[in-house]
Amino acid sequence: MDEIRQPEIPADETPETPIDAVSEPEAPARRSGKWPLVAAGIALIALFAASQVYLISSLNSTQSQIESLDQQIDDLDSSVDDVSVQVDDIATAAAQAATATPSSASNGATPAPALPTGFLPRFTNEGPDQALGLKLGTVEGPDAYAGSTLAIDPADGTKRVWMIWAHWCPYCQEELPELNTWWPEAKDNFAGAELVTITTSMDPSRGNPLEPYLESSQFQFPVVVDVDTSIAAQMGVNAFPFWMVTDGDGTVLLRTAGALHIDQVEEIFTQLEDFEG
């Protein structure tokens, strides 16, 4: 059998690479090994540049915050100086007022009208209460439940805690039921003091009359009806609820406007029991 011979290829046409060999391109292989390193280098450079930009931005922001803080400190120092000047001015004015001799004739000022005997100046939260040490006059008005007239003499030897309220006042509506629950049991512990309440400032135009409220509440302490707000004016009431404490001779010991917690009311009675005028 004849052999199958490979064709002869002229010497000048012999391929550089044998036909049966696998050609492996060398140049591409070398490039694929270098590109990852180049990319990593570029990434590191970009990261470094970004970090430098962030650092510079942070430093600029910190510098701005420091400058702003310095300005705030300067402003605060200026405010403190202003307050110090105001305090000095007030102290100076107080000293001058203390040494000055009041004279309505010399300065042309009109003196405040004298209050009727037994009336108290209107309460204010500014400065000392001008009613402290004054004596409250007889309080008179209809008994809310009996209908008869109640005339209470604050100088009859009984110490009293007075609460003045309006039935439409939401703070009074919250405080009165608590007081009504507490007082029946507490009053035996305070035999030397009495709780008296005054309801005032009825307004028919409000559409919520007093009588149904009294009927539904059934208060267990005296309720005097101030039919024309004259009692509130006598006591110098300026808000509701309003509290006042008098000694056995009618001397005003305390006045305050606003709701009190039952613990505070009890503390007032305890102190009043031990008070010796």
160-181 pLDDT, tens digit per residue, is 999 999 999 999 999 999 999 9
The region of weakest confidence among 71-75, 209-213, 217-221 is 71-75
Q: What are phi and psi of 139, to 5 degrees?
A: -105, 125
Quote the pLDDT of residue 207: 86
Asked if residues 226 and 144 have their Cβ atoms less than 8 Å apart, the reply is no
Number of H helices, E strands in the chain: 6, 7
The mean predicted confidence, pLDDT, of the chain is: 77
At residue 6 the predicted structure's pLDDT band, cuts being 50, 70 and 90, is very low
Token digits of residue 42: 């570029």
Indicate the domain borders of the chain.
31-88, 139-274
Quote the pLDDT of residue 4: 42
> Of 3.30.450.20, 3.40.30.10, 3.40.50.2000, 3.40.50.720, which CATH number belongs to 139-274?
3.40.30.10
The region of weakest confidence among 18-32, 152-166, 168-182, 260-274 is 18-32
CA 260/CA 182 separation, integer angstroms: 13
Quote the pLDDT of residue 276: 83
DSSP state of 205: G
